[in-house]
Amino acid sequence: MMRIGTGYDVHQLAEGVDLIIGGVKIPCDRGLVGHSDADVLLHAIMDALLGAAALGDIGRHFPDTDERYRGADSLKLLEEVGNMLADKGYLVNNIDATVIAQEPKLSPYMDQMIRNVASVLGIAEDQVNIKATSEEHLGFTGRKEGISAQAVCTILDYMDGSISAADSEGGCASCSRDREDKGAVKSLHEAFCPKED
């Protein structure tokens, strides 16, 4: 069965803070404020993945009252979310996301953002799409008070037997993540990567 998830996040812009989007530190006179590194794009993607798997949201798994997540690298949190999905027998099929930012221009950094997301999730780069749009100077994003992001994803349920190796363009996530010893992931590995054993 294919399942769909959506995610949305907003962070405020302020001086004296790094701007990190999609795991890329972007040169800018202001950055996003948060308890973690405030990576608005990765937060929206995590919520989409958790939503698709009916696993709640990032606040449930990484509470902003927990000191362990102060300044947290959101790529590490995304990797944890990927592990949660794999442990439940889900494969990430595709992710599409939009960052809404009046400035700076994000297009020069898109390829690296895509590489970062694909790499930590153990999927192919063409399973990830990231876009940017300004808000034509309208609203809080248009006034440059903050940056928002939206994401949608589809995931496939390996355990229901309805998908084949051909559905997993990225192959078995366990190959790139060394998680072969876990139940559902072991099954994925055996199904999708038999020749690599």
Ligand X SMILES: Nc1ccn([C@@H]2O[C@H](COP(=O)(O)O)[C@@H](O)[C@H]2O)c(=O)n1
Sequence ranges of the binding site = 9-11, 35-36, 43, 57-59, 62-66, 133-136, 140, 143
Residue 157 to residues 6, 19, 187, Cα–Cα distance (Å): 17, 35, 12
Which partner from the list ligand CDI, ligand X, none does 111 bind, CB cut-off 5 to 8 Å by kind?
Answer: none
The answer to whether the beta carbons of residues 49 and 85 sit under 8 Å apart is yes
Q: Is the CB of 135 or the CB of 180 nearer to ligand X?
A: 135
What is the pattern of x (binds ligand CDI, CB under 6 A) and - over residues 8-27?
A: -x------------------
The answer to the question of residue 158 lying near ligand CDI (CB under 6 A) is no
Residue 113 to residues 7, 98, 110, 193, Cα–Cα distance (Å): 17, 12, 5, 27
Q: How many H helices and E strands in the chain?
A: 7, 7
Q: What is the DSSP letter of 62?
A: S
Contacting ligand CDI (CB under 6 A), which of 64, 126, 169, 196?
A: 64
Which partner from the list ligand CDI, ligand X, none does 101 bind, CB cut-off 5 to 8 Å by kind?
Answer: ligand X
Q: Is the CB of 52 or the CB of 185 nearer to ligand CDI?
A: 52
How many other C-beta atoms are found inside a 10 Å radius of the C-beta of residue 133? 12
First to last CA, the chain: 27
Which partner from the list ligand X, ligand CDI, none does 133 bind, CB cut-off 5 to 8 Å by kind?
Answer: ligand X
Question: Minimal CA–CA distance to 48: which of 1, 112, 117?
Answer: 117
Q: Is the CB of 9 or the CB of 117 nearer to ligand CDI?
A: 9
Number of residues this chain uses to bind ligand CDI (CB under 6 A):
13
* Binding region for ligand CDI (CB under 6 A): 9, 34-36, 38, 43, 58-59, 62, 64, 69, 72, 77
